[in-house]
Chain A
Amino acid sequence: MPDSTGLELIAQDVREKVGEASITGTHYHHEQATLEVEPGAVHNVLSALKPDWEWLASLHGCDYLPEEPRLGVHYQLLTRVRLDRLNVKTRIGAEEPKLPTVTDLYPTAEFHEREVYDMFGVVFDGHPDMRRILMPEDYTGFPQRRDFPMGGEEVLFTFNEHELPRWYDK
């Protein structure tokens, strides 16, 4: 992990390349370096970081419910040359959340972005195949959001099919 000084240097570098407003903050906790980025600037920041951080290890969505903006998307970058990790994080509101896709920079993001869309409803502009991946295609709602209730989902079995008449016409 870059230490907190290294993180500031990276942030400074990105600010010079992409613009002053692109970075909204830096955090260094638990030996994890996090670069907080303006949602619109995600693609530009990641393309500026790509030469140094060639590998996208993972991409997570999360929901910080009481806080605003509510949703968060994390990009876990990795460099296999310097053996270092960097977390790029962005926060967006839950109303019509939209982010630029990074599949052109990191093709591995394709499934990850579909999963974030599926679970949190974040639409990635320019993604080649923006569909649900884990939930059924006709599912409504985004189950990993924190205000989505646990349980209560009607599960169809042979024994209760008659209680849901003509479920297939819905």
Chain B
Amino acid sequence: MTPGDPLAVPYREREASPDLNRLDTPVAGTEVEGDEFFTINMGPHHPATHGVLRLLVTLEGEMVRDVKPIVGYVHTGIEKSCEDQAYWKVIPFVERMDYLAYYFNMMAYCMTVEKLLDEPVPPKAQYLRVAHLELNRIASHLFWLATAALDVGAVTFLWWGCRDRDYVLDLFEMSSGQRLHTRYFQVGGVAEDIPPGWVEKAREFIEYFPGRLDQYEALLDRNEIFVQRMRGTGVVPVERLQELGVTGPLLRAAGDPWDLRKAMPYSSYDHFDFKIPVGTVGDNYDRYRVRIQEMRESLKIVEQCLDGMPEGPWITDNRKVALPPRDELATSMEALIHHFKLVTEGFRVPPGEAYVPIESPRGELGCFVVSDGSSKPARVHVRDPSFVNLQAFPDMARDGLVADLIASVAMLDPILGGIDR
């Protein structure tokens, strides 16, 4: 089934196997003088590619004529590993896909399993999930801001972005004990109620952070170099983005207000009042503005979450799915049996297939789970937004300068852990 026997070709020739013929032919509609094309590799190890992304770039002078993204360098077979774990042990695996938006991976996976189990999630758990998701969105966008500004020359942003992200990570540490990859969401709810003091600390952050955002905007928006590198670069028509299935801030920056939180609300998102920022032109500047504004909207959601936090349990009381409370183990025989069953075998999920999409910081993050009735999933597939959005990258970079290509990668915000899984 493999076309030809690849092992018959010597290694050094196979290394050059990406088909260059298509790249060497002139792009239709461009004037070519003397066929002066130059094909170079950018990456896989390049500081501005946000991970191990390899770009095969065809240059004519300083103009980019074609780009081919080559991925797979951090493919670790997470989806394959998931098939060997009990349902609740898959959560830490999927978290490590898109490693900046780990709550979103957990959320998509947990919601899919809950759908297969027909397991309702208590209102308090839904609110806690939303609060953490939106804080994670801020953390993810802050890290994007830090690295993207670094790419276009604003070096100190790396420290500023990470400094504010640390406030969010402190909150994660308080609620779950971990700063990254928290495993906080469980099937049926969340692992633990938020501790005393969490709400106050979150409110401190809500109060503190808009001022910082104003500073960042002032620093970047009034920076002649930054604005010149952002305005009018990397424009892709909105129709083309829709064709390519691009979602998230990239699509919204082009003026298409598609956001699953509004369009198909899940986990009580319809209880909150927030706006969807959209751009007008769809250039890199709009992408930057949309993400900055999204952080403000996320703050609004977190605040409403804290104000309206319902009372009640934070995880389902279905003992077949969720662990019994610790204190019951010493007194209740049944709790002990359930605990033993869950920890050794895990719960069984009735056969079926489900696909649940949510809105991650990068677009539609969908999780597809096939269950064969056992306690391990038969297939876990994640539709990662970075993976799909990367297809739009050649369109963004084509017929621009090399410097604009760097700016476009920064504004594309690809997470290679999510692309390669």
Q: A76-B355, A108-B243, A170-B11 are in contact. Are A58 and B366 (CB under 8 A)?
A: yes
B83 in contact (CB, < 8 A): yes
B118 in contact (CB, < 8 A): yes
A138 in contact (CB, < 8 A): yes
B89 in contact (CB, < 8 A): no
CA distance in complex: A148, B264 (Å)? 37
- Whether A170 contacts B7 by the Cβ 8 Å rule is yes
Q: A58-B366, A107-B244, A108-B243 are in contact. Are A134 and B84 (CB under 8 A)?
A: no
Interface size for B (C-beta < 8 A) is 52
CB proximity of A41 to chain B, nearest CB, Å: 20
CB proximity of B263 to chain A, nearest CB, Å: 6
CA distance in complex: A113, B19 (Å)? 18
Q: A30-B354, A34-B353 are in contact. Are A80 and B244 (CB under 8 A)?
A: no
- Whether B14 contacts A110 by the Cβ 8 Å rule is no
Enumerate chain A residues within 8 angstroms of B10, measured Cβ to Cβ. 169
Considering only residues 74-106 of chain A, those with a C-beta below 8 Å from chain B are 74, 76, 80, 83, 85, 87, 96, 106
Which A residue sits closest to B368, measured CB to CB? A60
A154 in contact (CB, < 8 A): no
Q: A108-B391, A123-B1 are in contact. Are A80 and B258 (CB under 8 A)?
A: yes
- Whether A58 contacts B383 by the Cβ 8 Å rule is yes
Question: Which label, helix, strand, loop or mixed, suits the secondary structure of the A interface?
Answer: loop
Which A residue sits closest to B3, measured CB to CB? A130
CB proximity of B15 to chain A, nearest CB, Å: 9
Enumerate chain B residues within 8 angstroms of A143, measured Cβ to Cβ. 77, 80
Enumerate chain A residues within 8 angstroms of B11, measured Cβ to Cβ. 138, 168-170
Which B residue sits closest to A87, measured CB to CB? B355
Enumerate chain B residues within 8 angstroms of A58, measured Cβ to Cβ. 355, 357, 364, 366, 368, 381, 383
- Whether B14 contacts A138 by the Cβ 8 Å rule is yes
Chain A: number of interface residues, binned into ranges: 35 or more
B194 in contact (CB, < 8 A): no
- Whether A106 contacts B245 by the Cβ 8 Å rule is yes
- Whether A30 contacts B115 by the Cβ 8 Å rule is yes
- Whether B420 contacts A134 by the Cβ 8 Å rule is yes
Fill in one digit per residue for B75-113: 1 if any A CB lies within 8 Å of its CB, else 0: 101011101100000000000000000000000000000
CB proximity of B256 to chain A, nearest CB, Å: 9
CA distance in complex: A121, B2 (Å)? 8
Considering only residues 341-374 of chain B, those with a C-beta below 8 Å from chain A are 352-355, 357, 364, 366, 368, 370, 372
Q: A62-B381, A96-B1, A106-B245 are in contact. Are A134 and B352 (CB under 8 A)?
A: no
**Among the interface residues A61, A108, A121, A135, which one has the most CB atoms of the partner chain B within 10 A?**
A108
B276 in contact (CB, < 8 A): no
- Whether B72 contacts A144 by the Cβ 8 Å rule is no
B379 in contact (CB, < 8 A): yes
CB proximity of B17 to chain A, nearest CB, Å: 5
Which B residue sits closest to A139, measured CB to CB? B6
Enumerate chain A residues within 8 angstroms of B141, measured Cβ to Cβ. none
Contacting B379 at CB < 8 Å: which of A62, A121, A134? Answer: A62
By a beta-carbon cutoff of 8 Å, the part of chain B in contact with chain A is: 1-3, 6-7, 9-12, 14, 17, 19, 71-72, 75, 77, 79-81, 83-84, 115-116, 118, 242-246, 258, 263-264, 352-355, 357, 364, 366, 368, 370, 372, 378-379, 381, 383, 387-388, 390-391, 420-421
21 A-B pairs (CB sep. < 8 Å):
A29-B353, A31-B115, A32-B355, A54-B242, A58-B355, A58-B383, A60-B379, A62-B378, A74-B353, A85-B355, A87-B353, A111-B388, A111-B391, A130-B3, A135-B72, A137-B14, A138-B6, A138-B17, A144-B80, A148-B80, A168-B12
Beyond A58-B381, A87-B355, 15 additional contacts (C-beta under 8 Å) are: A29-B352, A62-B353, A62-B368, A64-B372, A74-B368, A76-B383, A111-B388, A129-B19, A134-B420, A137-B14, A137-B17, A140-B2, A146-B378, A150-B80, A168-B11
